[in-house]
A and B are shown apart, each in its own frame.
Chain A
Amino acid sequence: MTPATAPLGRVRLSAGRWNVAVGTIAALVAAYVIIDLGAGGEGQAQFINALTIGAIYALIALGYTMVYGIIELINFAHGDVFMVGSFVSWWLLTTLGFNGAITDPLLLGVVLAVGFVFSMGVMGIVGMVIERFAYRPLRSAPRLAPLITAIGVSFILQNLVQVGVSNSIVTTPQIIPNTTLHIGPISISAINLFIIVLAVVLMAALQLFIGRTRLGRAMRSTAIDRDAAQLMGVDINTTIALTFFIGSGLAGAAGVVQGLYFGVSVFTLGFYAGLFAFTAAVLGGIGNTTGAALGGFIIGFIQVIAAVYGYGVWSEVVVFTALVLVLVFRPTGILGQQLGERA
């Protein structure tokens, strides 16, 4: 636990924008030192690995936090949406006949773009369908009701993939060539760079969308006060559906990334990924998109630090213990909640 709390503590102290920047850099340096001490000569590679894993969790966590922010529902099926997303990209790539690295950069770019747009679109629609049929009818029901349908939807998605596609591990084609780029003193493989950049771009786009557009403003106002937003002319149903579309689309993107990075997918993938990502969302402060991204990276670092010190099998215990500690001592998460919600 001690190594994991170091980056966490640094960020918590910060308040202003500069402090956040300084705190983040200090936390990253601390994490790097801790990883390097544990990993011997592999420190850099493991640090990048942590960033990559963190990026995947962050993408999933965004969906949790957006949905919770707007309708206060823990969308249990979200982890399984991510899992289905990884299967969609697996299906697409194998159907198109790829089975290894694509060396032509143009073709690679096109395939990646098509893969991401397709998977994100499909999962976005799946998310909207789930919301329409499993959550919307229960919007004014007691809270337990939609939570239970969410668990039900999670069962349905898992079982459909298990029975309909495969009940064991499928191997996703590794279409990104295994090359290492050298940028100054940093050696980073192409896939890690791609994933980190992609995640950052998607998160920045999301922030811009929520902060600067008319629809984003509708989402924020619905999250703050649904009735007042409706009185101001916001179409609540469309806004909530849009939230599900974006959140599930991001999970779909994370699913593609999972396939590209780990090369495998299995129908039970969503459970743990979902649990970890939800932990990330709570760590960062649920309802807060920046917090969810931050939480995702923290979870990535916790996992990698546990692994390099030889406690890889304990990583879930460490993550959940961190979750319990955060909830007990600071239920609003590291960055606090943007939405006035008492934990």
Chain B
Amino acid sequence: MTGHPTTGPATGGTKPGIRQRLSRAMSPGTAFSARHQSLTTVVTFAAIGILLPVIVLLPPFSGFGTQNDWVGGFADAGIFVLLAIGLNVVVGWAGLLDLGYAAFFAIGSYTYAYGASPFTGLHIPFWFMLPIGAFVAASFGIMLGAPTLRLRGDYLAIVTLGFGEIVPAVFLNASTLTNGTNGIVGLDQPSFGRLFGVGDFGFTNPWPYFVTILGIIAVAFMLLSRLENSRLGRAWVAIREDELAAASMGINTVTTKLLAFAIGASTAGLAGVYSASKLSIVSPDQFNFTVSFTVLAMVVLGGMGNIWGVAAGAFLIFELQSQGLKQLNTFIGGLGLPAFNLGPITVDLATINFLNYQYLLYGLALVLMMLLRPEGLFPSRRRRRELHELPDEAERGNVELSEADEVEL
């Protein structure tokens, strides 16, 4: 990454100590939420878990589907929220562009398939498979990262992109081990035992899945947001800002980057285990590059570096693409607009299926976001300051930017 100073104004002697200023800048919010971070997280997710299913009972949402439909959709959205907050560790905090993130998702899913399906005959309970899946994915993250993390950002992007293609290709082609295109079917359902009167989750009732993913996300949130403000989290930011400076301050850049990779991968592993158990099938086509790119789009649009923003971005984008575009079709179709001619092309909005334009919209959103609001919809304070330098800083910043680039060469 390009390096330029972010702590510029913090040099005055009479101002509050840099440590105080830093900690205040890094944990926005009230004093209470800063002191009781984990409790706040739990309360917030409990509130979300209660509010979301209630909101969908209100119009206009109630008109789009039953409460169970919505809750099932939320349980799927949770997969992407989990993926997005995991990728945020790698891209948002450590500044490493990972374009093959779906590979770790795939590894988590196949780990569950091997651990809990008739294919291998093993039937390890879902709850044990969660940490196992996270661990296996993290191991692959380290295996990929160890040789490649020394590479500069752009090269890393390509290597991860290649890895993201290799993993599904292996699952597809090594058919004796993975059952090839058909994938592995009949995976075990998670089960609460006799707790809450719910045995196996089954396929018809979305509520146990909803509660489970909410719980997983809440735990991941607690752990990750503690990491963000830890020594490791500060090391990630330092590396993102200026790797050379970070290294000369005594940060072991390779280990630090490896940890970002492994932690991001383990989150994807969790998402993979959950998603495999929910679908009860894994097959290679679930993990192509569109998954990686969708999650990246979610992270970028949500606001790189801000875990809450990224989660909100992932949730909103998932719901927009699964519900919003569908409703847009119905809505525009219901308006009864006449078809009109645009040069040689006849445009009939009533028959346009907006679902087909999903990637066009992603693409436009990515380009426009980078041009107009590069910090995302819900930016992290630090990123916003980097990306919108003050006017007098901007000129200085430009000069320093090109100088820093040359040093990097």
Question: Which A residues fall within an 8 A CB radius of B?
Answer: 68, 72-74, 133-134, 137-138, 140-149, 151-160, 162-163, 167, 226-227, 271, 275, 278-279, 282, 313-314, 316-317, 320-321, 323-324, 327-328, 331, 340-343
Contacts and interface: CB of A to CB of B under 8 A. Distances in A.
B148 interface: yes
A277 B334 CA distance: 46
A275 B165 contact: yes
Given A152-B362, A152-B366, A282-B155, A137 B166 contact: no
A155 B359 contact: yes
B321 to A, nearest CB: 13
A227 B364 CA distance: 31
B254 interface: no
Contacts of B300: 148
Contact of B152 (A148, A317, A328, A343): A343
B371 A137 contact: yes
Nearest to A324: B159
A189 to B, nearest CB: 30
B144 to A, nearest CB: 8
B20 interface: no
Given A134-B371, A271-B289, 14 more contacts: A133-B367, A134-B367, A142-B2, A151-B293, A151-B363, A152-B364, A152-B366, A154-B363, A156-B364, A159-B360, A162-B356, A278-B158, A321-B166, A324-B148
Nearest to A278: B158
A240 to B, nearest CB: 15
Contacts of A144: 1, 91, 95, 97, 153, 304
A168 B408 CA distance: 45
Interface string B297-340: 00010001000000000000000000000000000000000000
B87 to A, nearest CB: 13
Nearest to B153: A143
B200 to A, nearest CB: 37
B48 interface: no
A157 B362 CA distance: 12
Contacts of B360: 155-156, 159-160, 163
Contact of B366 (A151, A278, A279, A340): A151
A58 B289 CA distance: 24
Contacts, number: 142
Contacts of B157: 74, 147
B152 A138 contact: no
A327 B155 contact: yes
Interface string B1-36: 110000000000000000000000000000000000
9 contacts: A72-B154, A143-B1, A144-B153, A147-B154, A153-B367, A156-B359, A275-B165, A314-B173, A324-B163
A162 B290 CA distance: 15
A204 B168 CA distance: 39
A327 B161 CA distance: 14
B39 interface: no
B199 interface: no
Contacts of B152: 342-343
A1 B162 CA distance: 16
B170 interface: yes
B147 interface: yes
B375 to A, nearest CB: 10
Contacts of B356: 159, 162-163, 167
Nearest to A321: B166
A132 B401 CA distance: 21
Majority DSSP secondary structure for residues of B touching A: helix
B152 to A, nearest CB: 6
B357 interface: yes
Contacts of A316: 165-166, 169
Contacts of A227: 402
Contacts of B99: 151
B190 interface: no
B409 interface: yes
B1 A142 contact: yes
B219 interface: no
B44 to A, nearest CB: 29
B141 interface: no
A151 B398 contact: no
A323 B151 contact: no
A224 B148 CA distance: 26
B365 interface: yes
A298 B102 CA distance: 28
A229 B364 CA distance: 33
B43 interface: no
A327 B154 contact: no
B390 interface: no
A324 B145 CA distance: 11
Contacts of A342: 152, 408-409
Contact of A343 (B91, B151, B359): B151
A159 B362 CA distance: 10
A43 to B, nearest CB: 25
B367 A149 contact: yes
Contacts of A146: 370
Contacts of A153: 363, 367
Contacts of A279: 158, 162
Contacts of A271: 289
Q: Which of B91, B95, B169 has the most CB of A within 10 A?
A: B169
Contacts of A158: 359
Given A143-B153, A316-B169, A317-B169, A155 B366 contact: yes
Contacts of A324: 147-148, 159, 162-163
Contacts of A340: 409
Interface in B343-372: 356-360, 362-367, 370-371
Nearest to A227: B402
A156 B158 contact: no
Nearest to B96: A144
A94 to B, nearest CB: 16
Contacts of A74: 154, 157-158
Contact of A149 (B159, B163, B357, B366): B366
A64 to B, nearest CB: 10
A278 to B, nearest CB: 6
A327 B160 CA distance: 12
